[in-house]
Chains A and B, each alone.
Chain A
Amino acid sequence: MSDTFFSGAPHWAWLIILYFFVGGIAGGACFLAAVVDWFGGPEDRPVVRTGYSVAAWGAILSGALLTIDLGRPLRFWHMLFQSANVPALMFKGWSPISFGAWAILVFGLFAVLSALGGMAEEGRLHNPALRAVGGAVRGGLAKVVGGVAGLLGVFIAGYTGILLSVTNRPIWADSPWLGALFVASGASTGAAALILLAPGRGATEQSLARLSAFDTKALVVELLVLVLFVASLGSVNRVWIGFWGLVLLVGVVGLGIVAPLRLHLQRRPLASAAKLVLLGGFLLRVATILASEGIERYRVAAGM
């Protein structure tokens, strides 16, 4: 039996699952927006602007979800500053949760600046202060700010998986592939969110087809990493015999990866595939987190 079965469950449930999902979308969408920002053409601007907006709202929602989930929400700032020694910073580079707290803050800052830049570009900012900030983020500066946000986005999408691996819990600590899996899922769900939202801001058919082509590749990578993840679990795989295994197989692999891949190959409407990708991304977090959460140490020890 893996030694991880003797640890206790941290009660990371729906708020954390939602955060992992939203953070993945925000990070993935921001990364894609930055790539298109740097290497795309003028006709791709709606995708870029949508991506930065998804990142900004995602970062804000992520911060809110994480704060509400704390046992003492008003002490959220203890993650950032030494509570007895303000303004000394609280930072542990080897602790993903500490690193992540800072990353979300900085990612949120850069994503909001990029989103404001995009909104100013569209002439949608009416508040003078916001218009001034948004107006300043343009040209070369906008590319640098967006590029930093994009790189941080990749981190935000993946560090949550690393965070789970840097524990002593079953499944999470039994495989080194969760971070890689969440990166791939962040890319696929980020692209899916852009496919669904970018048309509202004037994205062209060509831009959407390009995103869809990327999403196909991201789903293939995700499936490969998922296979590696399951293979690396070895004997721990017995935890999947049950409801969460069914969710992983039918919900994540079937509905979330294989079905949208088939739709892409058949060149069916992009929105249907994108919705399935989002569903699969959500169920991936649900299955990996709740399958481990359900394992209670004292029951394992008692052979129940």
Chain B
Amino acid sequence: MPEPMGFFTDTTVCIGCKACEVACKEWNQLPAENGGIRELSGDSYDNTRRLDGIHWRHVRFIEQFKGPYDGRWLMMSDVCKHCVQAGCLEVCPTGAIIRTEFDTVVIQSDVCNGCRACIAACPFGVIDINPVSGTAQKCTLCYDRLKVGLEPACSKACPTDSIQFGSIVELRTRAQKRVDQLKSQGVKAELYGADPNGALGGLNSFYLLVDQPEVYGLPRNPQLPTRNLAKSSSFSLASAAVLGVLALVGLRKRRMDDMGGPGAGGSN
């Protein structure tokens, strides 16, 4: 049985070259958007803008400029987090989303029927419909490459090793060393998703960030969608009970009216 595998993305060494985006598109034969005629964002070098069904890697450009000489670019290659407790897998009604032997989360395109429950369930906005297949799609962590002992296309292509692939245990050790190194240099570095006791049981694709998670478009405390199930169901049952009693009381009163018994009086 293979051990859990994943990505550690060190955002401090990402140079925004988008080699990962290209490698992902090429290996997974993902189609171009709008026939290749793409509108530029106009306010950023980031023209991909988001992860979706045909963009399984996205290099996020965060431009923090206070003035002409005071600013920085933060860059982060974003991807499916392959959550240990995955919301998409939890709600998928067809069983199309599975956990693989590498502890990664994969959507089986031949099973998915495009109901889109997983899109709304993912706290990171990773999944979307691929218009060619009509099914929900996202990063598979190159399951086909892993099966034959190759590393995923994106990390293979990354020229700065910002995206590192490996066993989760080893990656966590490596990531902590890097955080310690940066902190010793006075950089405020934190790991996001590396804690197996943290949100969603840890993310098998975790990050080293130098600013707040929200700045990178990441939720501070991602949660499973079923957190609302018990409360929402209870309130619905309570509402149904109140309406049921109201309906029954109305009818009982009518019967008493018919019988002309005590309490008779026209409420209707």
Q: Using a CB–CB distance below 8 Å, which chain A residues touch chain B?
A: 1, 3-12, 31-32, 35-36, 39-41, 70-73, 75-76, 78-79, 82-84, 90, 92, 94-98, 101, 154, 158-159, 161-163, 165-169, 172-173, 176-184, 187, 206, 209-210, 213-214, 217-218, 221, 225, 296-298, 300-302
Contact = CB atoms under 8 A, between A and B. Distances in A.
Given A166-B228, A166-B229, A213-B250, A41 B120 contact: no
B181 interface: no
Contacts of B95: 78, 82-83, 90
A187 B222 contact: no
B123 interface: yes
Given A3-B222, A206-B268, A90 B120 contact: no
Contacts of B52: 8
A165 B121 CA distance: 10
Contacts of A176: 228, 231-232, 234-235
A156 to B, nearest CB: 11
Most chain A C-beta atoms within 10 Å of own C-beta, residue among B52, B96, B235:
B235
B93 A158 contact: no
Given A39-B252, A221-B242, A162 B93 contact: no
Most chain B C-beta atoms within 10 Å of own C-beta, residue among A3, A209, A210:
A3
Most chain A C-beta atoms within 10 Å of own C-beta, residue among B60, B122, B133, B225:
B225
B267 interface: yes
A172 B120 contact: yes
Interface in B87-136: 87, 90-96, 110-117, 119-129, 133-136
A93 to B, nearest CB: 10
B247 interface: yes
Nearest to A79: B93
B217 A11 contact: no
A184 B111 CA distance: 36
A31 B91 CA distance: 28
Most chain A C-beta atoms within 10 Å of own C-beta, residue among B96, B117, B239, B268:
B239
B251 A35 contact: yes
7 contacts: A8-B51, A35-B248, A97-B93, A167-B121, A168-B122, A187-B247, A213-B267
A179 B124 CA distance: 24
Interface string B220-232: 1111011011011
Chain A residues touching B, majority SS:
helix
Contacts of B218: 6
B219 A165 contact: no
B238 interface: yes
B229 A168 contact: no
Contacts of A98: 91, 93
B12 interface: no
Contacts of B135: 71-72
A35 B249 CA distance: 11
Given A1-B214, A72-B113, A94-B226, A158 B123 contact: no
Most chain A C-beta atoms within 10 Å of own C-beta, residue among B51, B121, B229, B247:
B247
Nearest to A220: B246
Contacts of B124: 6-7
A36 B68 CA distance: 74
Given A84-B111, A95-B90, A173-B225, A3 B123 contact: yes
Given A6-B123, A221-B242, A166 B225 contact: yes
Contacts of B122: 7-8, 168
A167 B120 contact: yes
B220 to A, nearest CB: 6
Contact of A97 (B91, B133, B238): B91
Nearest to A36: B251
A79 B120 CA distance: 17
A179 B232 contact: yes
Contacts of B247: 31-32, 35, 187, 214
